């Protein structure tokens, strides 16, 4: 078995000569066989092999098992790293939390002690269980790859060299060579979904077809190749259409809307995998379907909620993936003559007296500028806020118009409408909406009544 294992690892370039390799060892039969084989491989390739062990403290026996493993490593001069999982409540979401704790520890040791490779003892039965679990729960094609044999991890890579072996094969080898290992009693119950699949489903499928595990392995490999092909198509489009913003991400829709549904679907899967999934946001097939409907609807502006406050907002040919924030309409500023203020990090406003030019802050001098001469008859202080429902602006003595209608006529996206500033007189009459409209009230009847200039600058 060693030669088959060694040839497989060398053929796939799982390690280089004299490399530092960390082994994730639980004490079970799989990992103890891995430890045995890797000691032989270390002799052949002059490897520095070390053991990392987590005592989850979920069973009384785990203390003795950790002590045995520590002593085993000391007798053979194998570096040994261990940690206890001391979470206060281990009954909720146990598997996921324990896994995160383990891999965080492995990554930490790799970085601190300079191990370029982490090996785990996942085998083909684990692969079958993982694929069946994902199919049962519902997943994307990308996730059906299952357990990948090799991927980036920590400062190096994570390798699963045992995916070519079944659990039965490892147990037989351990028995033949007298390897000491420990049975985890928690694996015998059916409290966890993985255990139920392991005990109740996989044996039936193995009995139905003796090549079941090999078929799962082949299926997973094909999924990995299919994913590589899909990403070769999607990645260039993703780089072209998606832009990171301070609030989230901006997605160009004009080209995406012209693509086949297959490209649209896998693009959205990639989008969510790279943006929200790392934030522990659960993305379902329903979210993909909703986004597709949003994309292909003629309505210029639509939105959809995801979870944890995240939402998609479609604005004509652009979509924004952002987290919903509290309405910003409570912001309120007042401005008198010769005063200036920053409305936001990239917006500035000043009320300048004619003949008394402002000394602009250096940071705003190169920002885009909009200005409006106003009459000295305008009651002050001016009031600055965001728009409210029902806001109207007087365009002429006989015509007022709703701000919302002005925005619609100019095809202004909702996000920009929400950020637009409304400048009012002390009597609550709107005199200016910078970049969009100004009231006739701001226009003096006589030129000599022009006493002020409103100056609005923005960093685009």
DSSP labels for 34-87? HHHHHHHHHHHHT-EEEEEEEE--SSTTHHHHHHHHHHHHHHTT--EEEEE---
Per the annotation, does 350 bind a ligand? no
What's the mean pLDDT in 355-373? 87
Q: Do residues 170 and 162 touch, judged by C-beta distance below 8 A?
A: yes
Per the annotation, does 28 bind a ligand? yes
For residue 324, which of 332, 313, 316 has the smallest C-alpha distance? 313
What is the maximal distance between C-alpha atoms in the chain? 105
- Residue 190 pLDDT more than 80? no
**What is the DSSP code (8-state) at residue 200?**
I
pLDDT value of residue 156: 94
- Residue 25 pLDDT more than 70? yes
- Residue 165 pLDDT more than 60? yes
Q: Do residues 393 and 344 touch, judged by C-beta distance below 8 A?
A: no
Per the annotation, does 29 bind a ligand? yes
- Residue 146 pLDDT more than 60? yes
The packing angle between helices 2-11 and 29-45, to 10°, is: 70
Lowest mean pLDDT among 165-174, 280-289, 387-396: 280-289
- Residue 187 pLDDT more than 80? no
pLDDT value of residue 450: 67
User: Rounded to whole angstroms, how far apart are CA atoms 265 and 292?
Assistant: 7
pLDDT: is 185 or 98 the higher one? Answer: 98
Per the annotation, does 30 bind a ligand? yes
- Residue 327 pLDDT more than 60? no
pLDDT value of residue 377: 85
Give 399's contacts (C-beta < 8 A, 6+ positions apart): none
- Residue 431 pLDDT more than 90? yes
Q: Do residues 148 and 195 touch, judged by C-beta distance below 8 A?
A: no
pLDDT: is 97 or 266 the higher one? Answer: 266
pLDDT value of residue 448: 55
pLDDT value of residue 189: 67
pLDDT value of residue 186: 67
pLDDT value of residue 399: 94
CB atoms within 10 A of CB 35: 23
Question: Could you tell me the pTM of the whole model?
Answer: 0.63
Two tokens at 324?
Answer: 């919903």
Going along 283-398, which residue ranges are E strands? 301-305, 310-315, 318-323, 332-335, 339-344, 347-353, 368-375, 382-386, 392-396
Per the annotation, does 26 bind a ligand? yes
- Residue 444 pLDDT more than 80? no
pLDDT digits (tens, 9 = 90+) for 26-67: 999 999 999 999 999 999 999 999 999 998 877 778 888 999
User: Rounded to whole angstroms, how far apart are CA atoms 165 and 373?
Assistant: 80
- Residue 236 pLDDT more than 90? yes
Q: Starting at the edge strand that comes first in sequence, how are the strands of the sheet with 332-335 ordered?
A: 332-335, 382-386, 421-424, 430-433, 437-438
What is the percentage of the chain residues whose pLDDT exceeds 90?
Answer: 58
- Residue 334 pLDDT more than 80? yes
pLDDT value of residue 328: 41
Judged by DSSP in three states, 156 sits in strand
């Amino acid at each position: 078995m060693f030669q088959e294992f060694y040839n497989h690892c060398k053929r796939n370039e799982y390690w280089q000569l004299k490399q530092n390799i960390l082994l994730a060892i639980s004490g079970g039969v799989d990992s103890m066989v891995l430890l045995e084989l890797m000691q032989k491989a270390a002799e052949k390739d002059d490897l520095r092999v070390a053991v990392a062990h987590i005592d989850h403290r979920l069973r009384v026996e785990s203390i003795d098992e950790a002590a045995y493993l520590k002593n085993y490593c000391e007798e053979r001069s194998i570096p040994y790293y261990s940690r206890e999982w001391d979470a206060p409540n281990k009954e909720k979401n146990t598997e996921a939390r324990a896994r995160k704790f383990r891999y965080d520890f492995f990554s930490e040791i790799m970085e601190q002690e300079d191990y370029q490779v982490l090996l785990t003892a996942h085998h083909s039965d684990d692969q079958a269980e993982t694929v069946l679990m994902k199919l049962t729960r519902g997943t994307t094609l990308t996730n059906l790859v299952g357990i990948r044999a090799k991927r980036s991890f920590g400062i190096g890579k994570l390798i699963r060299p045992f995916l070519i072996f079944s659990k039965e094969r490892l147990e037989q080898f351990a028995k033949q060579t007298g390897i000491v290992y420990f049975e985890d009693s928690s694996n015998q119950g059916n409290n966890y979904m993985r255990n139920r699949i392991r005990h109740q489903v996989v044996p039936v499928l193995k009995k139905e077809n003796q090549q079941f595990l090999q078929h799962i392995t082949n299926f997973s490999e094909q999924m990995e190749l299919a994913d590589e092909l899909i990403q070769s198509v999607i990645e260039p489009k993703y780089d072209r259409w998606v832009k990171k913003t301070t609030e989230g991400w901006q997605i160009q829709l004009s080209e995406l809307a012209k693509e086949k549904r297959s490209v649209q679907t896998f693009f959205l899967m990639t989008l969510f995998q790279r943006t929200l999934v790392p934030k522990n946001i659960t993305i379902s097939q329903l979210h993909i379907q909703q986004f597709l409907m949003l994309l292909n609807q003629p309505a210029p502006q639509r939105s959809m909620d995801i979870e944890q406050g995240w939402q998609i907002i479609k604005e004509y040919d652009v979509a924004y993936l952002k987290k919903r924030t509290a309405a910003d309409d409570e912001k309120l500023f007042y401005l008198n003559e010769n005063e200036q203020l920053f409305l936001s990090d990239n917006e500035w406003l000043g009320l300048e007296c004619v003949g008394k030019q402002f000394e602009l802050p250096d940071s705003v001098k190169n920002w885009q500028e909009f200005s409006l001469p106003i009459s000295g008859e305008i009651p002050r202080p001016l009031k600055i806020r965001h728009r409210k429902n029902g806001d109207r602006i007087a365009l002429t003595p006989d015509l007022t118009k709703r701000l919302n209608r002005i925005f619609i006529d100019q095809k202004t996206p909702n996000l920009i409408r929400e950020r637009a500033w409304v400048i009012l007189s002390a009597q609550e009459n709107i005199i200016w909406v910078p970049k969009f409209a100004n009231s006739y009230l701001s226009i003096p009847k006589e030129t000599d009544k022009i006493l002020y200039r409103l100056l609005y600058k923005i960093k685009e």
